[in-house]
């Protein structure tokens, strides 16, 4: 049957090309018209595939040669050409091949006086011009001049013709040569005047299509530099900005507003970023002859990451040859499976034996005598003196026979008031209180002495003066908080530093110790030892005081319709109406003397504290500030993380903040994500917590660029603006704003101190060692956690030594603080007294590096270490000098592999800024080959699918985890990441990157909610639960372990208790976000103007069939005409056609009805 249909269509087309009989041609055209007017666009594509476009063009050439032209044949032919040509991607080339451009132009010129015929010619002209090459040819032959003659001067006569001509002109102007021609002939000013005429006279908004068509012409002309310059010289910015002020509150005019906004953003004069150089304010001298990251030629697509898994331009050209050889990594089975040779001499691996003390420990402490007393004596001894370490360095790696001395206790004494800490309930699988060992009197005495003078006996080289940032300076509030019993007025001496003062004492007394696993004293002691490039003298209050998760989860922010364009128009107003622009620098990290802090009515900013990042603040208007982030150390890019203090605010006033040097093309801030805020007054009133905050949030491309001088050779880089508004909860408060929940290096170190202090040493084997010193001189901790053996019996010790390893690392990217919160949840669960945690410790030995990039975290970087390198792109060949943490972590993994103890699971904790949910990236040969389009012979290529087991388990037990977001591809751009290197070089099947969203979840229990620290910590504990289930499902277990598991964990119930959530998780998920209430346009030069959508043209053509043959076109509308007569005549304001159908009704739609331009062709 299909063959018969095909042969029938081919006969029709062949006859159309060869016949000279008018009746035969008309009959064929009528049949084709009826055929293509019904059904979907598939019919048109079928006709195209059988040579329909060529046949129609040949018939057009034949019909045009007749004198005089027979319009009874030409009109249906032109209608068919317009309908078929718009869906034929090669139509422009076919027109040129048939030499039909001159024919179409000739017909247009000959019919200037007959508008019905001219409209048909203009439709075909528009379709031809959709091909830039054909459009250029038409422009050379005078099409632009012809169309401009048709549309000018302004007149409401022949409006159908004007509309068709404007839409054809907009298509022609996509060609840059046509745009230049239009500018050179002065048409741009004419278009502006014409737009003004239509705008001012279209009071009833009856001619939206004509106005928008003129705007599209302007949009395409301003794609060229000459067009933008002429547009600015013709006062185009002022004209368009003024024209839409009365349109903003009419939703039917959104197409006009959107197009105007795009033009204004594109034509806004480009400005260099207002900094002397885009390179970081901080620089660090690198060891040896190493040089910092070279400047890169920036472009939109060149910027890195989001978590591990975003394409990043490789700036390292030293090993070009080897990289070129591996270009087929994703399609070559041998390269995917290769096990590269060691990147260091094998004899160097011996040094890492000291990192595995658990394999040689004799457990003398298991003797029955007073183990608690012995442990206390050891602890006391270490509290009174700083433990010494043997830290790997570039020279020490040459001597493999030394041993590190274990750091079995914290360097800093515990706080007696903090010993009996409450454990967050969400961290445990079974919701029961953890019971810690009682604290004896002797321990309290020693620790109290330690806390009395925490700095006494410290190594001066490792400690420095550190002060707490001043508190709110409102005297009445200050008195109420700290001296409620005092009647006299107390002035807190504004700006006074508060180290070891009465105020700090009051603060520590006021701290109720109800923040789990946090001690301000521990934090202060650790923070004093931190080495930073700016040599921090101040401590941020939230890090000192602590964070308590709120008792609720906050929904994703609903995006207010029109918020982005309103923000953009506010930006344009600076140029158009500069009278209220202040332009005062109020904070400058580079030039503090240029700042004007404390000006009346002005906010005060500060960021020189651990993990802080704010480079410059400029007051734009009274309640609006432009903010600039600092680049990563020794770098000129990676702007994303921010964390700063702001004070001296007014109450209930919306302050607008614009971070103007963001780099990423996309952001979750456009899809419901909010930043976080911490209020000091709220904290001191018993609510110490980071909260999601901000409204009117959006993210878009701005007019700033990086010039060559400021970029140190880098040019062409464009920036994006993150804008948000905040109403602060208190007057004259001190608040902190951050990209995500901060988690500093000192917070991590003090957290480890508290965890060790509160573990049960009889059950938890804990060893904290120093993996190495960072470039900045800070210790990078390595943890070993497992269960103590039940006894010294041979079987128990054998079981202890033979436990498989799990290797966890986190925070290789400093700005991904969510990774640290997940790691926090993992650590707290591992040392807890939960019986499931106890069983898990008996199953595995955990090696954990909780922070791989301490220097980056300390100095407020987003992506890199002090070397200016992304450490997660250095795993193939790390440098012991430049990348010591990665070098020694990889060395330890090499060592474990060399003794036959490669980890069962390796997981690198990350954060992801452009996707929702929590998910894993793994490694699979087959899935990579399939994705690359290779034919996979399953008989030859075999693969253990065990890499999928853990993600499937997590999908069942972790509310935030989504299996369908996971990927197991090994891409060329990822070959130097931890996940891929550990998989290939260490042979670890279950090597993962775990990505946690900054935003929230789109599936499951937390659907529609933003993730807080409680949910992130829960993910860390659920990951541990997943490891236990993986062990029980995948590895042989002793009867004892299985019996314990049967008592503690009903696996069936645990796996199915989230059946409802899992069902929703299993629905297919795409990377694309759902559409917002308004179209999100990140670029200023976007061409997304719906011109590729020809459903409107379809409707025009279909309406044309209802016209009376030979009827003259409307000669303008008088006030006496009725709406019914307007509707009968088919004016422009048409209802939106069904999106999945091109079968359009043979009627006109009601006047004044407009429903947008969003329909798509069938």
pLDDT at 593: 80
- % of the chain surpassing 90 pLDDT: 53
What average pLDDT does the segment 226-236 reach? 96
Query: Tokens 């900005």 correspond to what residue?
Result: 241
* 950 within 8 A of 1025, measured Cβ to Cβ: no
More confident residue, 124 or 1139: 124
* 804 within 8 A of 904, measured Cβ to Cβ: yes
- % of the chain surpassing 70 pLDDT: 72
What average pLDDT does the segment 370-386 reach? 40
The per-residue pLDDT for range 870-907, each reduced to its tens digit, is 999 999 999 999 999 999 999 999 999 999 999 999 99
At residue 609, does pLDDT exceed 60?
A: yes
Q: Which of 482-486, 539-543, 601-605, 771-775 has the lowest mean pLDDT?
A: 482-486
At residue 809, does pLDDT exceed 60?
A: yes
* 953 within 8 A of 966, measured Cβ to Cβ: no
More confident residue, 626 or 338: 626
Of 266-275, 279-288, 359-368, 495-504, give the range with the top mean pLDDT: 266-275
Residues forming a β-bridge with 655? 726
Instruction: Give SS3 for 893.
Output: helix
More confident residue, 544 or 249: 544
Confidence of residue 714 (pLDDT cuts 50, 70, 90): low
At residue 518, does pLDDT exceed 80?
A: yes
Residues forming a β-bridge with 726? 655
At residue 341, does pLDDT exceed 50?
A: yes
Cα 1144 → chain centroid: 41
- Alpha-carbon gap, residue 290 to 277, rounded angstroms: 22
Q: For the range 247-254, what are the long-range contacts, defined as Cβ-Cβ under 8 Å and sequence gap of 24 or more? A: 248/562, 248/566, 248/569, 250/205, 252/205, 252/208, 252/1154, 253/205, 253/208, 254/1078, 254/1156
At residue 853, does pLDDT exceed 90?
A: yes
- Alpha-carbon gap, residue 631 to 276, rounded angstroms: 13
What average pLDDT does the segment 942-948 reach? 87
Instruction: Give SS3 for 734.
Output: strand
At residue 987, does pLDDT exceed 50?
A: yes
Q: How many other CB atoms are found less than 10 A from the CB of residue 536?
A: 22
More confident residue, 78 or 1074: 78
Q: How many other CB atoms are found less than 10 A from the CB of residue 908?
A: 28
The per-residue pLDDT for range 417-429, each reduced to its tens digit, is 333 333 333 333 3
Q: What percent of the chain is helix, strand and coil (3-state, nearest 5)? A: 45, 10, 45
At residue 1084, does pLDDT exceed 50?
A: no
Q: Mean pLDDT over all residues of the chain?
A: 79
pLDDT at 1050: 66
pLDDT at 1083: 53
pLDDT at 1043: 75
Contacts of 509 (CB under 8 A, 6+ apart): none
Residue 483 has which token pair?
A: 């001296």
Confidence of residue 1162 (pLDDT cuts 50, 70, 90): very low
What average pLDDT does the segment 230-246 reach? 94
More confident residue, 434 or 1086: 1086
Q: Which of 301-315, 774-788, 989-1003, 1067-1081 has the lowest mean pLDDT?
A: 301-315
What average pLDDT does the segment 489-501 reach? 44
The per-residue pLDDT for range 875-885, each reduced to its tens digit, is 999 999 999 99
Helix ranges (H only) for 302-440 are: 320-325, 333-337, 371-383
Q: What is the tally of helices (H) and strands (E) in the chain?
A: 42, 21
pLDDT at 634: 92
Confidence of residue 1074 (pLDDT cuts 50, 70, 90): very low
What average pLDDT does the segment 933-938 reach? 67
pLDDT at 1086: 44
Q: How many other CB atoms are found less than 10 A from the CB of residue 484?
A: 7
Side-chain-facing half-sphere of 216: CA atoms under 13 Å: 25
What is the set of active-site residues? 995
Question: Which three-class secondary structure string do you get for 1022-1086?
Answer: HHHHHHHHHHHHHCCCCHHHHHHHHHHCCHHHHHHCCHHHHHHHCCCCCCCCCCCCCCCCCCCCC
At residue 400, does pLDDT exceed 90?
A: no
Q: Which of 72-76, 778-782, 1120-1124 has the lowest mean pLDDT?
A: 1120-1124
Confidence of residue 247 (pLDDT cuts 50, 70, 90): confident
More confident residue, 304 or 98: 98
The per-residue pLDDT for range 161-176, each reduced to its tens digit, is 999 999 999 999 999 9
What average pLDDT does the segment 695-703 reach? 94
The per-residue pLDDT for range 458-481, each reduced to its tens digit, is 444 445 677 888 888 665 655 566
Q: Order of strands across the sheet with 695-706? A: 271-272, 695-706, 717-727, 654-662, 624-628, 616-621, 584-588
Instruction: Give SS3 for 248.
Output: coil
At residue 58, does pLDDT exceed 70?
A: yes
Residue 897 has which token pair?
A: 């592999």
- Alpha-carbon gap, residue 498 to 418, rounded angstroms: 22
- Cα dist from 146 to 107, 152, 168, 321, 631, whole Å: 12, 10, 11, 56, 53
Spell 1019-1054 as b/e; 16+ CB within 10 A means b: bbbbbbbbbbbbbbeeeeeeeebeebbeebbeeeeb
* 804 within 8 A of 845, measured Cβ to Cβ: yes
More confident residue, 324 or 605: 605
- Alpha-carbon gap, residue 597 to 470, rounded angstroms: 15
The per-residue pLDDT for range 548-600, each reduced to its tens digit, is 998 889 999 999 888 999 999 999 999 999 998 999 999 999 988 877 766 77
């Amino acid at each position: 049957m299909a063959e018969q249909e095909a042969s029938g269509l081919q006969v029709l087309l062949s006859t159309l090309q060869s016949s000279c009989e008018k009746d035969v041609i008309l009959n064929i055209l009528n049949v084709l018209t009826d055929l293509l007017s019904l059904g979907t666009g598939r019919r048109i594509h079928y006709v195209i595939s059988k040579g329909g476009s060529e046949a129609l063009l040949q018939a057009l050439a034949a019909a045009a040669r007749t004198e005089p032209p027979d319009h009874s044949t030409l009109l249906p032919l032109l209608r068919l050409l317009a309908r078929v040509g718009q869906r034929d991607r090669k139509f422009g080339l076919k027109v040129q091949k048939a030499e039909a451009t001159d024919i179409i132009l000739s017909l247009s010129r000959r019919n200037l006086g007959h508008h019905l015929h001219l409209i048909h010619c203009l439709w075909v002209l528009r379709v031809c011009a959709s091909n830039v090459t054909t459009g250029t040819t038409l422009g050379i032959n005078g099409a632009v001049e012809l169309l401009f003659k048709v549309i000018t001067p302004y007149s409401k006569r022949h409006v159908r013709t004007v509309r068709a001509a404007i839409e054809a002109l907009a298509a022609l102007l996509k060609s840059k040569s046509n745009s230049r021609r239009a500018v050179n002939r002065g048409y741009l000013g004419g278009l502006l005047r014409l737009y003004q005429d239509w705008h001012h006279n279209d009071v009833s908004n009856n001619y939206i299509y004509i106005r928008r068509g003129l705007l599209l012409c302007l949009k395409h002309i301003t794609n060229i530099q000459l067009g933008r310059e002429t547009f600015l010289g013709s006062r185009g910015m002022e004209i368009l900005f003024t024209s839409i002020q009365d349109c903003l509150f009419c939703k039917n005019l959104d197409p006009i507003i959107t197009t105007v906004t795009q033009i204004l953003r594109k034509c806004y004069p480009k400005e260099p970023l207002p900094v002397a150089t885009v390179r970081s304010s901080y620089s660090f001298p690198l060891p040896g002859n190493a040089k910092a990251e070279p400047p890169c030629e920036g472009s939109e697509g060149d910027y890195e990451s989001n978590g591990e898994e975003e394409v990043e331009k490789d700036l390292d050209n030293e090993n070009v040859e080897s990289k070129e050889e591996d270009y087929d990594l994703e399609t070559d089975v041998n390269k995917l499976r290769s096990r590269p040779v060691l990147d260091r001499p094998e004899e160097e691996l011996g040094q890492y034996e000291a990192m595995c003390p658990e394999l040689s420990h004799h457990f003398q402490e298991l003797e029955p005598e007073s183990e608690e007393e012995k442990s206390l004596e050891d602890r006391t001894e270490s509290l009174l003196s700083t433990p010494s370490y043997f830290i790997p360095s570039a020279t020490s790696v040459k001597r493999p026979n030394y041993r590190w001395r274990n750091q079995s206790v914290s360097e800093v004494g515990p706080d007696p008031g903090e010993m009996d800490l409450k454990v967050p309930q969400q961290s445990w699988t079974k919701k029961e209180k953890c019971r810690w060992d009682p604290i004896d009197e002797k321990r309290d005495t020693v620790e109290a002495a330690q806390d009395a003078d925490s700095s006494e006996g410290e190594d001066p080289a490792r400690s420095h003066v550190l002060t707490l940032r001043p508190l709110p300076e409102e005297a009445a509030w200050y008195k109420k908080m700290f001296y409620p019993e005092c009647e006299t007025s107390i002035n807190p001496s504004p700006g006074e530093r508060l180290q070891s003062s009465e105020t700090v004492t009051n603060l520590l007394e006021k701290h109720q110790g109800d923040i789990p696993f946090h001690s301000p004293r521990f934090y202060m002691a650790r923070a004093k030892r931190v080495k930073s490039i700016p040599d921090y003298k101040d401590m941020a209050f939230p890090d000192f005081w602590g964070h308590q998760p709120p008792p609720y989860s906050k929904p994703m922010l609903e995006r207010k319709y029109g918020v982005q364009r309103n923000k953009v128009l506010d930006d344009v107003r600076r140029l158009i109406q500069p009278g209220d622009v202040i332009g005062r620098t109020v904070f400058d990290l580079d030039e503090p003397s240029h700042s004007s802090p404390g000006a009346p009515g002005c906010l005060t900013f500060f960021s020189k504290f651990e993990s802080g990042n704010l480079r410059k603040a400029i007051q734009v208007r009274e309640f609006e500030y432009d903010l600039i982030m600092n680049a990563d150390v020794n770098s000129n890019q990676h702007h994303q993380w921010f964390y700063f203090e702001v004070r001296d605010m007014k109450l209930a006033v919306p302050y607008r903040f614009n971070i103007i040097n963001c780099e990423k093309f996309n952001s979750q801030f456009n899809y419901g994500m909010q930043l976080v805020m911490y209020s000091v007054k709220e904290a001191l009133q018993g609510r110490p917590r980071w909260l999601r905050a901000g409204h009117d949030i959006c993210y878009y491309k701005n007019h700033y660029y990086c010039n060559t001088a400021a970029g140190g050779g880098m040019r062409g880089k464009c920036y994006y603006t993150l804008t948000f508004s905040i109403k602060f909860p208190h007057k004259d408060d001190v608040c902190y704003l951050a990209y995500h929940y901060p988690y500093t290096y000192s917070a991590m170190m003090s957290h480890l101190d508290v965890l060790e202090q509160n573990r049960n040493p009889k059950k938890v084997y804990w060893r904290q060692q120093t993996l190495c010193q960072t470039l900045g001189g800070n210790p990078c901790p390595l943890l070993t956690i497992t269960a103590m053996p039940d006894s010294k019996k041979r079987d128990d010790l054998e079981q202890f030594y033979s436990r498989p390893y799990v290797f966890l690392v986190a925070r290789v990217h400093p700005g991904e603080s969510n990774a640290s919160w997940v790691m926090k949840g993992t650590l707290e669960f591992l040392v807890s007294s939960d019986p499931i945690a106890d069983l898990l410790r008996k199953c595995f030995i955990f090696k954990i590096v909780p922070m791989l990039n301490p220097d980056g975290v300390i100095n407020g970087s987003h992506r890199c270490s002090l070397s200016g390198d992304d450490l997660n792109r250095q795993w193939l060949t790390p440098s012991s000098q430049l990348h010591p943490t990665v070098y020694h972590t990889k060395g330890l993994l090499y060592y474990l592999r060399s003794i036959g103890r490669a980890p069962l699971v390796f997981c690198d904790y990350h954060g992801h800024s452009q996707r929702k949910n929590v998910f894993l990236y793994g490694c699979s040969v087959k899935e990579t080959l399939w994705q690359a389009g290779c034919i996979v012979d399953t008989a030859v290529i075999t693969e253990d699918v065990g890499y999928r087991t853990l993600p499937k388990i997590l999908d069942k037990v972790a509310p935030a985890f989504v299996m369908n977001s996971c990927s197991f591809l090994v891409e060329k751009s990822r070959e130097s990441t931890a996940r891929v290197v550990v998989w290939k070089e260490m042979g670890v099947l279950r090597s993962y990157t775990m990505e946690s969203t900054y935003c929230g979840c789109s599936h499951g229990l937390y659907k529609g909610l933003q993730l807080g620290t409680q949910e992130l910590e829960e993910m860390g504990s659920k990951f541990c639960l997943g490891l236990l289930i993986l062990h029980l499902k995948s590895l042989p277990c002793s009867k004892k372990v299985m019996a314990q598991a049967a008592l503690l964990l009903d696996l069936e119930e645990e796996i199915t208790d989230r059946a409802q959530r899992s069902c929703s998780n299993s629905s297919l998920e795409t990377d694309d976000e759902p559409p917002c209430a308004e179209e999100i346009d990140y670029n200023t030069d976007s061409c997304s103007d719906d011109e590729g959508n020809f459903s409107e043209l379809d409707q025009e053509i279909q309406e044309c069939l209802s016209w009376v043959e030979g009827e003259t076109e409307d000669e303008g509308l008088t006030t006496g005409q009725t709406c019914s007569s307007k509707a009968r005549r088919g004016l422009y304001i048409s209802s939106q056609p069904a999106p999945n159908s091109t079968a359009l009704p043979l009627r006109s739609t009601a006047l004044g009805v407009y429903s947008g331009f969003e329909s798509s062709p069938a």
